[in-house]
Structure 1
Amino acid sequence: MKPSPYQIAAFTAAARERSFSKAAAVLGVTQSSITQHVAKLERLMGTLLFVRRRDGLELTPAAEELFQVSDRLRTLEQIIDEKVASYGALSAGHLRIIANAPRPALPVIAKYTQLHPQVQIDFSLYSWTIAMQKLHERDMDIAIITEPEVVEGVSLHEMSQTPYKLHVRRDYALAGRKAVSLADLNEEIVVMPEDGSFTQRIVDAKVKAAGLQLSRVIKTSTFPVVKEAVLHGVGVGIVLEDSLFPSNNLVALPIREMPETYRHCLVTPPYKRDLRLVRSFVDVALE
């Protein structure tokens, strides 16, 4: 027996949203309808597709394999719908955007929502490693990632380049310097994003190449927490210069051993780049 289009649509929406209730809202049906279609598909396949967790649905290996195909099918259906309808304006829709730093993603999102206020945007920050994992799994519509790995088939657009700098509070002892060396940070408390971040990899490599060791490091979850920690006097932070919203209370100092610049890139899965919503976001980002 073949699965019905309704079963595939319900499964795909639930897998995208990681929620039966959100899937129901997206498809404009009841939650019981979603669960019934998924249950029938599970019986047809003879395997469990979702595990219910407190924070949402977790895909089983069988579901992940099916989702790789069904999500492409749903995207193609969306493209067909758009072409048939010949939309004259973007009056509705839903974009899932991820990034490994708040900027340059948030300024683009702010501009896009002003132009298209009816488009719903889900934005999530992840470590560089998790963001790359989601890109490999095609678990988003758009990703804005610093120096992304090469992924077959994705569309990549460079948005900007920026160096790493040491961020210190304006009243901090180092704030009056024109530049600092990594050796100057040996006795400082250095705040950085968690393991798995691009920053962690770069800083570790630079410190090792210089024959040094940062003895006092505090790791946090995301770039915004690094900024808050520095502003609260916890220590100093090494982050990309334009990854945080500027603050009059912070000073960004060049690091002598880290003069290189790194690319912020916008990437989209190959089968989603032709979606009108995705294309419109890319156009705004690259203006």
Structure 2
Amino acid sequence: MTMNLTYLRAFDAVAEAGSFVGAAAALHVTQPTLSEQVKALERKYGVALFDRRGRGVVLTPLGHELRAISRRLFDLESEAHQCLADAGQLRSGLLRLGTDGPVHIMPLLAAFRERYPGVDVALSTGNGESIRAALLANEIDLAVIANVEADPRLVTAPLREGRVVAIVAHDHPLAEQDSVSPAELAAERLVTREYGSVTQRIFHEAWCETEHILDDIFQVDSREALHAAVAAGLGIGVVDEVELPGDPRVVRLPIDGLDLRVIESVVCWADRFDIRVVRAGWELALEIAARDH
């Protein structure tokens, strides 16, 4: 048997006001309507909730017991309303961000925290494939990732364009050059990222257009490991130029003749785009990109 909350609210208002007249005014209904709602509640359960005394009413023992319950219920309703109102006005809530390169998303994270201090922010990092998978699994709300594959379930907007470059140790013979050719790369050990890295995918797809073969490959599982390996002289690496930290131990070199463009984009589920906190993060990401370019 379901509870009619309209009847229960009428009861609660009468208990609060101590009269049907005051309760009707508080709920903006007529007194006969309110009286009928309370009587309907009493008839449904075969109980008496009020002792009618002239123009006033007094709660019965059962009425006192129900009043304690109805107050808890409507207090929780008010709390739920406030929770949703605060989230809708970005005074509270949670934005889950994900990225394949922390350097790309930190300005957004900092600006969001400053503009919406009441909203918590959680950040997940990984390679491009893992972050895209997390987005599709609804484990994050908004992602900043490179070279997003077309997907009708997602909406995307470009933020910046860069390129993949080679990096060599500062004392490597190639470090004195202005750029490096595919033939020169093929003659060296190449330090690459793991499967799932967008940087690695961009380089691999471009390399397949050449006639050269890479015979000596050293694979690592993070950009930090790749950078450390190159600095130690273990080979030549390929990285997104924006993700290369300032380090005198390594030198960056453009790679001749390959299309190695990196397009960093903000991405979210199409059906979550109108959620207030997601839209706020999206718009701020575009605002920062426009300001920085």
TM bucket by the smaller chain? Answer: 0.5 to 0.7
> What whole-Å deviation, never above 9, does each CA across 1:103-162 have from its counterpart, x for those lacking one?
312332233334444533322222222233233333310111111112223221110011
RMSD, aligned α-carbons: 2.7
Q: Distance in 2 between matches of 1:145 and 1:260?
A: 16
- The letter for the 2-side match of 1:100 is D
Q: 2:141–2:278: 8 Å Cα contact kept in structure 1? A: yes
Q: 1:100–1:125: 8 Å Cα contact kept in structure 2? A: yes
Aligned pair count reads: 208
Q: Distance in 2 between matches of 1:244 and 1:119?
A: 31
Equivalence for 1:242: 242
Tell me, which stretches of 5 or more residues in structure 2 are unaligned?
1-79, 288-293
Equivalence for 1:213: 213
* CA pair 192-260 structure 1, distance change in 2 beyond 3 A: closer
Equivalence for 2:277: 277
Deviation at 1:83, TM superposition (A): 9.8
Equivalence for 1:180: 180
> What whole-Å deviation, never above 9, does each CA across 1:6-45 have from its counterpart, x for those lacking one?
xxxxxxxxxxxxxxxxxxxxxxxxxxxxxxxxxxxxxxxx
TM-score computed with the length of structure 2 as normaliser? 0.62
Superposition pairs of residues 109-148 of structure 1, within 5 angstroms: 109-148=109-148
* CA pair 119-222 structure 1, distance change in 2 beyond 3 A: farther
TM-score computed with the length of structure 1 as normaliser? 0.63
Tell me, which stretches of 5 or more residues in structure 1 are unaligned?
1-79
> What whole-Å deviation, never above 9, does each CA across 1:64-123 have from its counterpart, x for those lacking one?
xxxxxxxxxxxxxxxx96896266964433222222223312332233334444533322
* CA pair 170-108 structure 1, distance change in 2 beyond 3 A: farther
Deviation at 1:180, TM superposition (A): 0.4
Q: Distance in 2 between matches of 1:81 and 1:211?
A: 64
Q: 2:178–2:253: 8 Å Cα contact kept in structure 1? A: yes
* CA pair 95-180 structure 1, distance change in 2 beyond 3 A: same
Q: Distance in 1 between matches of 2:189 and 2:115?
A: 43
Q: Distance in 1 between matches of 2:117 and 2:226?
A: 31
Higher-Rg member (1/2): 2
- The letter for the 2-side match of 1:233 is G
What secondary structure, in the 3-state scheme, does the structure 1 residue paired with 2:171 have?
coil
> What whole-Å deviation, never above 9, does each CA across 1:43-74 have from its counterpart, x for those lacking one?
xxxxxxxxxxxxxxxxxxxxxxxxxxxxxxxx
* More moved, 86-95 vs 205-214: 86-95
Q: Distance in 2 between matches of 1:143 and 1:227?
A: 24
Greater helix proportion: 2
Deviation at 1:201, TM superposition (A): 2.6
* CA pair 220-117 structure 1, distance change in 2 beyond 3 A: farther
